[in-house]
Every structure is written in structure tokens, then in C-alpha cells.
Structure 1
């Protein structure tokens, strides 16, 4: 029976049934679907694992091997929007939305006060990144429910009434601080991908400065047809 289930799942993987996220149903869902025991399901998944077709991540689920989130860095698109256009079940949760004293390096861009927006980005129930943005001070007045639904660029256009027309992006790596590691369920001092982005309105004014701390296991940056990370 487990070989029959493995063959069925193998065909579905080949047909792209689990695209675009690559996430297979849970063991419980497979048990209910085929009316079999958990042992049988695990034997089937072990067979697919041996065949190199799936990756099993403790506490996170089972994925088609090699399936990763991809971020096209040469396209002007917000982080959240990049997840949504790939069809992922992407959600955001606000960690912080407040007005702060602008760090000295950013006073020329935002003045002495600016808004700080931190959001946890998730795919399914799995945290994938923490986004931290400095924004014009008026952005601290936005509705929190809307800020958990809309990508940064849409929020800026709605509140500031201007389009984002350009952005500068830098990519690096950094050891996770304890607070960030806890929020995105990474090991303390784990090396994270870090995307730093500065975006500009059509009049040349700075719209936002953001940095994204990203778990690297299932994430790739793409430039044209080339992959980074």
C-alpha cells in the first residue's frame, strides 16, 4: 500500500500538483485521503525521500525537493508582492509600527522623525523573513489591519499619493541577532540573507529604507536568469 501511495504522490509531483509552493499535504491529510495508518504514510514519504523527490523539514512540513521562494531583484516589486505573484500563501504580521527619532544617517531622507514598520513575513505558517522599514513619519498613522494586508509600495502610494519608480538593492549575509532569530524561528547566530533596499518616489525623494532578514534554506534571489544565494 505504501508503494502505491508513493507512486501516486510521485505522479502528482511530476504533474506539478503542488506548485508553486512545493508543499505536500500533511501526514494527517494523506492518512485521511487514502484511509491508511500514519506508519503507511511515513513509509511512502520515506520512499520519496530516498528517491530524492522530497525534503522533509521537522516541524515545517514536506516539500518538493529544491522548491524555493524566488525574488526577482531586477523587477520593481515589494517583498510581499514577490511572494504573492508566485502563488504562495503569503501573510504578514506587524511586529512594530511607531514613530521614532530618525537615525542620524537617514535624517536627510526623512527629517528628524520617521515611521518604523517591522513585519514578519510568512509562507503558510512558516516564518520566512523579518522586514524592517524606515518610512516618512506620516506612515506611522496608517491602519494596522491594512498594513498587515498591503505591500509596502502600495501603502506608500496610498498614503503619500506618489508612485515608487526606482530602488537600489544590496544583498549580503549576517549572523542573526537573538531577537530576530526568535521571530523567524532561526537558530541564534545562524547566518541569514540580508536584503537592503532604498526606494524613491517619482520626484526623486526617498520613499523608504528597508532591510529584510531572510532564512536562506528556501529562498533565492534571481537577477534575470541568474540566481544569487
Structure 2
């Protein structure tokens, strides 16, 4: 059933911009603008309410002042401090977890080369290969960098084109080469302060806190096919998990 949006009461003593702010506030609280958190454009709001641009801007200014919404230059108005989520109880790539929230994430390739397996990972990669494909990608949402992923993949994945590696989640690339799906992953989450490299890539100040997700992924034959480290800006990102009482 189509949702019917409320309209303004023209003879109401309350100012039109305050009525608009109140209606938008209620719609935000009800989750109408989930999952992206993006509000209609000023032009769309003007058409919807039949008011001037100034009235719409006053309404949005009111919500900005209340820290309910925030303006992103060149992108529009969004629910303030909108949280992106990554469920830990479902096996899903970082990129796919953003896609299912209705977002349009982007990946930019910043590193792609075959390297010798680092000494610290030789106990993780138990296959016969002495090399691994090192892939580094910048993850963005609405043009804003939110994470840097550094992945050590099976050397065979080097046969996948750079273009596909840039735009395709690692799990899909692995499956296309091996014919097998990733069946399990071990994850851990810690925190550390951003160094110069990650501060520059994520457009934050050095020393700001980052969430660190470490993930080792395995095929059905228990071969590690992906060891990744994600440096994540924490202010708009959360990890969630569902827990249940264990029945005897």
C-alpha cells in the first residue's frame, strides 16, 4: 500500500517552515528515508509542499540546528550521523554489506600486485603457492571514503582483470577462479589510531581512531583464500550481531 505523506495546514498559526521541519522530523523517526538516510532534494520538497525555496531552506536549517540532518556539499541532505552496518552473523563481503542496505558503494583500486606470502601469513595460507595477490582498495559511499581494505588473495586470482578486481567483491573473484564459494570466515575487531597513510586516504587527521576488522576466509577444503585487513572510519559505521540463548 502506498504511503500517504501528510500535507501542510495553511491557516495554522505555526510557521510553514516549522510545520515542514516537524513533518520531516516525524518521517525521519519512522525510518521513511532508510536505508540511505538521504532526504528529497530542496526542489522536490518545494514541489511537494508548494512553498518557496527560502521556506524549505529554513525548515532544513532548523533540522540542521537540531542535529537531525546534515548537508553534504554537492550530494544533498542526509539524516545526521547515519550509521552503516556490517552484520557479523552472516558471511558477506564488506562491499556486499553496503549494497544490501540500498547504498551505492564504490571501490577504487589503489594497489594490485603478486607478492611473496608474508612470513606472518605462511601459517594461514597452507596451499602450495609461495605467492599471494595483494589488493588494496578504497571503499566510498556517496563519494566519502569510509574504509581501506588490504587483502591477500589466492595467487590464482591474479588471472582476473584489474578492472574486475576494482569493481568486484573479493568473494566473487575467488569463486570465479576456483569454482568454490567461501564457506566460513574468522573475524576479529580492534581499534588503532590512524597513521599518515590511512589518514590521507580516509581524509581524516592523523591520530584519529579507526576500527580494524581482520578477516580470514576459507573454502570448503579448509584452504584460506583471503586474508583481509580493513581500516574503517568509525563515526558512521557499526558492527552488529544477533545472539540467542543456547538451549540445552
User: Under a length normalisation based on structure 2, what TM-score does the superposition of the two structures give?
Assistant: 0.79
Q: Which residue of 1 aligns with 2:197?
A: 179
- Equivalence for 1:6: 21
Match of 1:67 in 2: 82
State the alpha-carbon separation in 2 of the partners of residues 24 and 122 from structure 1: 19
> Secondary structure of 1:119's match?
strand
Which residue is 2:61 aligned to?
46
Quote the residue 2:42 is aligned against: 30
CA contact (8 A) 1:96 1:118 kept: yes
* Distance in 2 of aligned mates of 1:181 and 1:211: 16
Q: Report the CA distance shift for 1:100/1:154 in structure 2 as closer, same or farther (over 3 A).
A: same
Alignment-derived partner of residue 157 in structure 2: 139
Deviations 1:151-185 (A, max 9, x none): 11111111122121111101011111212211121
Describe how 1:1-229 pairs up with structure 2 within 5 A: 1-25=16-40, 29-31=41-43, 33-34=45-46, 36-37=52-53, 40-56=55-71, 62-108=77-123, 109=125, 111-224=129-242
Distance 2:76 2:235 in 1: 13
* 2:9 aligned residue: none
More strand by share: 1
CA 1:189–1:51 in 2, change beyond 3 Å: closer, same or farther?
closer
Say which SS state the counterpart of residue 167 (structure 2) adopts: coil
Q: Is the 8 A contact 1:173 1:194 kept in 2?
A: yes
Does the residue aligned with 1:164 lie in a helix, a strand or coil? coil
* TM-score scaled by length of structure 1: 0.85
Contact 2:157 2:177 in 1 (8 A): yes
Q: Unaligned 5+ residue runs, structure 1? A: none
Preserved CA contact (<8 Å) 2:18 2:59: yes
CA separation in 2, counterparts of 1:51 and 1:106?
A: 49
Greater C-alpha Rg: 2
How large is the Cα RMSD of the aligned pairs?
2.5
The answer to whether the 8 A contact 1:91-1:148 is kept is no
Instruction: Give unmatched runs, 5+ long, in structure 2.
Output: 1-15
